[in-house]
A and B are shown apart, each in its own frame.
Chain A
């Protein structure tokens, strides 16, 4: 990997970090367990490694943004996650922030094109 590729990779990871949390919270408006959540996100273009997603779920739950319960499905015990009542307003705020950032970036980009 060249220096520039390495730099790009670091910047890309930095950019993705916050977006992953937003994507996970959005997707968990429907109940999922870890693996189906990963698949659901991947289908929608948001690939996340197992060693990032599964610990992230734990952290978000510890922060009170998600709730979870163990349940049997297809003869296997699985831990299902869902957006919590406390997490819903936080998600709305994050979404508004995301949209505002997105709009700002787009405005700046268009401005740059015009000049």
Chain B
């Protein structure tokens, strides 16, 4: 029957994977048997209209084909409550951060009604971006969960981390016990990590993002940052990008709840690079004069004092970071000894 053939062909078009022909053949056998019964009951073949009405009852070909596919979600019911929680918080924080940044921007400019309206008009776009990122991250998690359900078993329970259970776990593990990272925490880290990266990248063009109204004061000073600070800046950006990428990989692989000892050590080690860039700046010069010809004679002694002080401060920071790395490593070894760092 032509109508049945057309229906089966349409179902086949919507099926994916290597089982397409097998499914269509089975469906054909079942529907042909059903058709035989119908025709035997009527004592005549079905008319085209009757056949089309019958096929319509079976459901649209797309619907029929969809029933044969594994059920898929962009964000499934198990993860959805956490997604919603993170979304609410991310949007709330994004709105607060945006409001603060806009207020600082308005304070540094000559405020007028148009700039206030512009800031308000931009807000939905910013929130949409945040929502898109949160959704993308959770969709990746859902994809990982669908591919490897064993690894993601009990995801909601682990992610929700009921306060009482968490408290009891902490009580059991004593004062050294640390809270395991929840999924909500890990996703929030990724979202805010991304926002922080964007913020970092905007700083060279918009210094007020870091200094606020102080940016205008800084411009008026006779001192400027030495070129080595740009190298430092790009290393900071790279260190943060590595940290963010690592977290995204952990989320995609479903290993976000594991202890972060190794990541902390690596991140701290990467952080040492920009600090060393400053520590070994040519001539230990971190500040220069904007106009050496004009201010050289008057301010060179002060400038040398500033550079010496800054160099010592960087040295102290480098020692502190190195000590943190050693401390993290000692903790890792100690926890492994207790069999906790798995």
Contacts and interface: CB of A to CB of B under 8 A. Distances in A.
A33 B25 contact: no
A55 B68 contact: yes
B32 A77 contact: no
Given A55-B67, A58-B23, A50 B30 contact: yes
B275 to A, nearest CB: 56
Interface residues of B, number: 17
A115 to B, nearest CB: 35
Nearest to A79: B26
Nearest to B63: A51
B59 interface: yes
A34 B67 contact: no
B321 interface: no
Interface in A38-61: 38, 49-52, 54-55, 58
Contact of A35 (B33, B58, B67, B68): B33
B64 interface: yes
B29 A34 contact: yes
B30 A35 contact: yes
A114 to B, nearest CB: 38
Nearest to B59: A51
A76 B59 contact: no
Nearest to A53: B30
A107 to B, nearest CB: 31
A78 interface: yes
Interface of B: 23, 25-27, 29-34, 37, 58-59, 63-64, 67-68
14 contacts: A34-B29, A35-B30, A35-B33, A49-B59, A50-B34, A50-B58, A50-B59, A52-B67, A54-B30, A55-B68, A58-B23, A58-B68, A76-B32, A78-B30
